[in-house]
Amino acid sequence: MAAQSKIKASEIIEPGDDDAVALAKRHLVQPWPYAGSVGNEARALIGEGDGIYITDASGKRLIDGPAGMWCINVGHRREELAKVMYDQAMALSYNTPWYTMNAPSAELAKRIADAAPGDLSHTFFTTGGSSAVETALRFMQFYNNVRGRPEKKLILSRGGAYHGSTYLSASLNGRPRDRDWMDGADDLVVKLSSPDPFRRPKGMSTAAFTDFLVDQFRDTVARVGADRIGAFVGEPVQASGGVIVPPDGYLKRIREICRENDILYVSDEVVTGFGRLGHVFASGDVFGIDPDMITFAKGVTSGYFPLGGVIISERLLEELRRSNHPDALFGHGLTYTSHPIGCAVALKNLDLLEEGVLQHAREIAPYFQARLKTLEELPLVGEVRGLGLMACVECVADRESKDPLQLDKDVGKRIDAHCHELGLLVRPLINMCVMSPPLIISSEQVDDMVAILREGISRTMDDLRKEGVWRG
């Protein structure tokens, strides 16, 4: 391993050299594997990244359509970030967060508090998104224990949600297939409908659909009992569920019901935070809500270092400090909490975002959305939807039934394979393709991306017709 880590990426990816792929097949367990191929799987080997591009093992340059995994917000190969990592490692590479602290984490917590909505004032730093959601939920449990409300612990989540892969965060997930073969803390979670306007009942207006969702939320609180519900966890835009943009006003109304019922509102901004919707946080600036907690990760370091966190309302902390249990211990900590390198990178990343990347994201987003929307001309495409620099192309067998199931369920993977040939990496999701490029993408690069996607979908339509899978 030590010898391999000294090899530069460009040396690993010589055409025809499949060493890394062979090693992975023998020794690596990759995420989201099927039982039939677990521990024996070749995935596209990526060697280098630069700006919005990555280079695969054959030397082919591809647009990084998913920005890693909604991560590489300021683009690959930013020397400023690499330099900060080096400098911080040379100054202080690590300190124990149990009884010491470091300056970058305190400074970052202050900058995050300045950018956060409402009275969100303090951050607990984690190693990523799952641990951020997990921390928010454990904090809710502790908070209600200290308040003498130990029965107030249930969590409301929604279909289409993705909140992580640790046990409790994964228990909130509501996407198809995620939980078919996996256990979860089902006795702690109550599920609600996804706010997906595309799949609203036939003939129902968007306004009526919004009322339905809000009524369902209120009825569920009444049925289950507000005294048993501790938190609602929701992504402002359901990201991995297929970029589900909620109908206007829905989040504000849910936020109010939570406030009225003493249910903590946790806004999961692991994807939407740090620029994807053109702002550091979308909860306040895009949706006009002030959550009790916000979770974030990914874009906070543009993926250069694993870091996440949960921002907590001053009101909640103040209530704990003034409680009758000053000795109650929040028994929660991570070895890499407040990691100095991660926090230093995040500070520089925030500079880059605030010095121009956020503004660029706001300016390019309408063009990005409009160009992608033209793909609705293709008969396989049921809907193109999105917000900011996140979008989804959803394929359906026919627009009347909107049925994705009659279609080959891996249509997203087929499109991705064609696009890979043509120079674009796509994130396939069953019958969908999710696009979330680095925020620095230019209008010419948007044109390239959409042209490749159009050709990739057209080739997929030809394949499906030839195989008799689809008659569109």
Ligand X SMILES: Cc1ncc(COP(=O)(O)O)c(C=O)c1O
Q: Which is nearer to ligand X, 28 or 451 (CB)?
A: 28
* Minimum separation from the CB atom of position 130 to ligand X (A): 3
Helix (H, G, I), strand (E, B) or coil at 95: coil
| Cα separation, 337 vs 125, whole angstroms | 5
Give the single-character DSSP code of 55: E
Report helix angle 129-146 to 314-321, nearest 10: 40
H or E stretch including 206?
A: helix 206-224
72 and 51 in contact (C-beta within 8 Å)? no
CB-based closest residue to ligand X: 129
* Minimum separation from the CB atom of position 89 to ligand X (A): 22
* Minimum separation from the CB atom of position 163 to ligand X (A): 5
Q: Which is nearer to ligand X, 240 or 445 (CB)?
A: 240
Q: Which is nearer to ligand X, 297 or 429 (CB)?
A: 297
Q: Which is nearer to ligand X, 129 or 242 (CB)?
A: 129
* Minimum separation from the CB atom of position 166 to ligand X (A): 7
* Minimum separation from the CB atom of position 395 to ligand X (A): 21
Task: Please report which residue ranges of 13-165 form alpha helices under DSSP H.
Answer: 19-27, 67-70, 79-91, 103-115, 129-146
Residue with tokens 């970058």: 104
Amino acid identity, residue 318?
E
Give Cβ neighbours of residue 30 (< 8 Å, ≥ 6 apart).
24, 41, 43
| Cα separation, 6 vs 249, whole angstroms | 53
* Minimum separation from the CB atom of position 139 to ligand X (A): 16
* Minimum separation from the CB atom of position 31 to ligand X (A): 9
* Minimum separation from the CB atom of position 251 to ligand X (A): 14
Q: Which is nearer to ligand X, 195 or 308 (CB)?
A: 308
Give the single-character DSSP code of 469: S
Length of the chain: 472
Token pair in block for residue 63: 């647009």
| Cα separation, 146 vs 209, whole angstroms | 38
* Minimum separation from the CB atom of position 126 to ligand X (A): 9
Q: Which is nearer to ligand X, 397 or 429 (CB)?
A: 429
- How much is the CA Rg of the chain, to the nearest whole Å? 23
Q: Which is nearer to ligand X, 239 or 263 (CB)?
A: 239
Residue with tokens 């949600």: 161
357 and 174 in contact (C-beta within 8 Å)? no
* Minimum separation from the CB atom of position 132 to ligand X (A): 7
- Partner residues linked to 51 by β-bridges: 76
355 CB burial (10 A radius; 0-12, 13-18, 19+): exposed
239 and 427 in contact (C-beta within 8 Å)? no
- Partner residues linked to 357 by β-bridges: none
* Minimum separation from the CB atom of position 162 to ligand X (A): 5
Q: Which is nearer to ligand X, 407 or 425 (CB)?
A: 425
Q: Which is nearer to ligand X, 210 or 272 (CB)?
A: 272
Q: Which is nearer to ligand X, 239 or 435 (CB)?
A: 239
Give the binding site for ligand X (CB under 6 A).
128-130, 133, 162-164, 235, 239-240, 268, 270-271, 297, 308
CA distances from 198 to 33, 195, 383 (A): 29, 9, 8
Token pair in block for residue 209: 């659909």
Signed CA dihedral, 413, 415, 417, 423: sign only: negative
Give the single-character DSSP code of 57: T
* Minimum separation from the CB atom of position 235 to ligand X (A): 5
